[in-house]
Amino acid sequence: MRLVTVVSRGLPGLVALATAVAFWPSLGSGFVEWDDHVNIVNNLAYRGLSWREIRWAFGTIQLGHYIPLTWLSFSLDYALWGLNPFGYHLTNLLLHVTTALLLYALARRLLWLSTSFSELGSIVGGGVAALFFAIHPLRVESVAWVTERRDVLSGAPFVAAILLHLHAIEAEGARRRWLRAASVALYVLSLAAKSSGMTLPLVLILLDIYPLRRLPGGRARGAPRSSMRVLLEKGPYLALSVAAGAVAYYAQTHGAPSPATPWSARLIGIFYNLWFYVVRTLFPVGLSPHYEAPVHVDLLEPRFLTAVLATTALSVLALWFRRRWPAGLALWAYYGLVLAPMSGVMPLASTLAADRYSYLSCLGWAVAAGLIAGTVVDAAARGALGPWRTGLAGGALALWLLALGTLTWRQTHIWHDSERLWRHAVAVTPECTLCRINLGNLLQPRQPEAALEQFQAVLALRPDRVGIRANLAWTLTRLGRYAEAADQYRLLLAHEPGSLPVRSNLAVALLGAGRPSESVELLRGAVAQGGAERMAAFFRESATVRPTEPIPRLGLVQAYLALGQLDQARREYQELSALDSDLARLLAPDLGVAGAR
């Protein structure tokens, strides 16, 4: 009994310490160019705790997410830390530790309910489950990436809601009502942080089947219960889930609309995701911030065919052994249910999979790890293993957890800064064009040659990404390769004939290539394409940003001439003459015809 007490008191501290150590490098990380600058660094709307910021938090669907509680947590961080990234990373880490400790309590209870474990076996199993979840490398993206606060903030109340629901089932009277109300309230908080927990009502029904056995499908435990009463308990959760799903769908389709995805591709994506996180849970190497979806999803492609066959096989095995090992089917069902909203049921633009989607969905695999550990402990206590085998099993388990923690420590370092993140992403997923674009954009100011290599690789991988030609052309311009830059801009202009930025940049490249007359004709054509008023507004802004460059002045002269505003045209002509007299002389006939002296 004394050993049970010592282990029970010591394990939570060990879980918290191990988690803090594994993610310690994140406290020295900065914000990264992967939505952090959009959401945090350059976003003024969340900065404060007044009614204005609160109203914005509950009204925005920025980047396709409705996450008011997450925005309010950022507001609190800003009040405490300003834009010091240390504070934001500290909050993420503390929230993750909280989720791990809550999972310890939940896993311990589930193992006791679903097995004949001793108290020590349940305690050790719960601790291993919490450690496996907390220090697994798949958690790094959710913890070390400030923007993904929504995962760690939604995870703690999600786990707590399940835990309180289990306590409410065994309580009576007013205590039961208060526990259930608290569970529902926590579910509200989880959904307000991120809608990924919308499948919780189905998870609770699954628990009623196994291990609670309160519904048909599990062996009866204790007195018979009314199935209808058990299902009605889930009413408040279900109502919240439906509302959250509707809001999430609206936010995704209106806040960050993506191209329509065929249902055949989504179905294959579901199988791929189910297999992807199983493999990454067992072999957490080569992790990337972005796993890019191909242009066309082909079932016969090896990775997709393997996923379909493997997932089908695992499903068949779980069903086949459901009577001998009901926990296996329950764990597989939980995994599929919670992963469903992120696995292709809803369109996910260019994202095929993401480490962050494992945060809630892989809780079941953590419980499975705890089940293995608890089995070993109880077998050792009965003398079924013997000292040598017990030591070997314990050592293997310790080495396994140590390896996970080491990988997590290394993976956390990768999120230190933007360049390190995207260099790593390109190294482990060289086919990811978005990763190469992000790296190229970061390298362009300091290493344009290196940036050029990334943009050229993008075009080689995905010729359909026409927009990357703008990055490529601008880099060529910086390198003084104006003729090549002009060729790229012309190809881009063929797809976007009305784009004033493309015409302006093409005019810059043509001027640099020694073809000023073509620059004049190009911008003269912009009047017909976009209208003189629009052209004047665009080049006024350009002249403000780039006051020493002649092309904005050239555009203004032509726009004002088209508008009949001769005085403004003359003033801009004088500015152009001071910047590039040769280019200005090409416009002299136009001004003369207009009545210039």
Residue 471 tokens, joined: 């990055």
Phi, psi (deg, nearest 5) at residue 353: -160, 170
Q: Tell me the backbone φ, ψ of residue 281, rounded to 5 degrees.
A: -70, -40
How far apart CA 138 and CA 279 sit, in angstroms, is 11
Report pTM: 0.91
Mean pLDDT of 371-395: 83
* HSE toward the beta carbon, residue 425, CA cutoff 13 A: 27
Q: What is the mean pLDDT of residues 372-386?
A: 83
**Of 356, 352, 387, 358, the residue nearest 261 (C-alpha):** 352
Going along the chain from its start, the domains and CATH numbers come out as: 2-414 (no CATH), 430-493 (1.25.40.10), 514-597 (1.25.40.10)
pLDDT on residue 234: 95
CA distance 415 to 413: 5
Q: Stretch 253-257: mean pLDDT, rounded? A: 73
Does the pLDDT at position 220 exceed 60? no
Nearest in space to 430 (alpha carbons), one of 462, 401, 406:
462
Nearest partner of 84 among 25, 28, 33, judged by Cα:
28
> Is 376 a residue whose pLDDT tops 50?
yes
DSSP per residue over 531-548, as a string?
-HHHHHHHHHHHHHH-TT
What are 166's two structure tokens? 């289990």
Residue 6 has pLDDT above 80, yes or no: no
Of 40-49, 339-348, 554-563, the range with the highest mean pLDDT is 40-49
pLDDT tier, 437 (very low <50, low <70, confident <90, very high otherwise): very high
pLDDT value for 217:
64
Query: What string of DSSP letters covers 426-471?
Result: HHH-TT-HHHHHHHHHHHTTT-HHHHHHHHHHHHHH-TT-TTHHHH
Q: Residue 258: its pLDDT value, please?
A: 64
The pLDDT of residue 223 = 44
pLDDT at 511: 92
Q: State yes or no: pLDDT of 280 exceeds 90.
A: yes
Q: Are 188 and 240 contacting, i.e. CB atoms less than 8 angstroms apart? A: yes
Task: Tell me what pLDDT residue 252 has.
Answer: 84
**pLDDT confidence tier of residue 530, bands split at 50, 70 and 90:** low
- Report the C-alpha gap between 278 and 271 in whole angstroms: 11
**Over the stretch 570-581, which tens digit does the pLDDT of each residue have?**
898 898 889 998
Q: Residues 436-442: what's their mean pLDDT?
A: 96
3-class DSSP string for 355-385? HHHHHHHCHHHHHHHHHHHHHHHHHHHCCCC
* pLDDT given for residue 595 in this prediction: 41
- Check whether 481 has a pLDDT greater than 50: yes
Helices (H) and strands (E) in the chain, counts: 30, 2
Cis omega (within 30 of 0) for bond into 224: no
Write out the H or E segment, with its range, that includes residue 352.
strand 351-353
pLDDT at 218: 55
- Stretch 9-26: mean pLDDT, rounded? 93
Q: What is the pLDDT of residues 170-180, one digit of tens each?
A: 998 899 999 99
Tell me the average pLDDT across 42-53. 95
Task: Say what percent of the chain tops pLDDT 70.
Answer: 94
Between 221 and 70, residue with greater pLDDT: 70
- Of 182, 12, 204, nearest to 108 (Cα)? 12
Tokens 């068949």 -> residue = 316
**For the residues of 217-260, what is the DSSP string, one character each?**
TS---SS---HHHHHHTTHHHHHHHHHHHHHHHHHHHHHS----
d(CA 524, CA 562): 9
Nearest CA among 73, 94, 72, 81 for reference residue 26: 94
d(CA 227, CA 281): 35
Highest mean pLDDT among 131-135, 389-393, 525-529: 131-135
Task: Report the range of poorest mean pLDDT among 150-164, 412-426, 517-531.
Answer: 517-531
Query: What's the pLDDT band for 193 if we cut at 50, 70, 90?
Result: very high
pLDDT at 341 over 60: yes
Q: What is the DSSP string of 258-271?
A: -----HHHHHHHHH
- Stated length of the chain: 597
pLDDT band at 117 (very low <50, low <70, confident <90, very high): confident
The predicted structure's pLDDT at residue 483: 94
- Listed range (13-17, 223-227, 336-340) with the worst mean pLDDT: 223-227
User: How much is the mean pLDDT over the chain?
Assistant: 90
Report which of 111, 143, 153, 151 is spatially closest to residue 128, judged by C-alpha positions. Answer: 111
| Predicted local confidence at residue 205, as pLDDT | 96
Q: How many CB atoms lie within 10 A of CB 71?
A: 27
Instruction: Say whether pLDDT at 347 is over 90.
Output: no
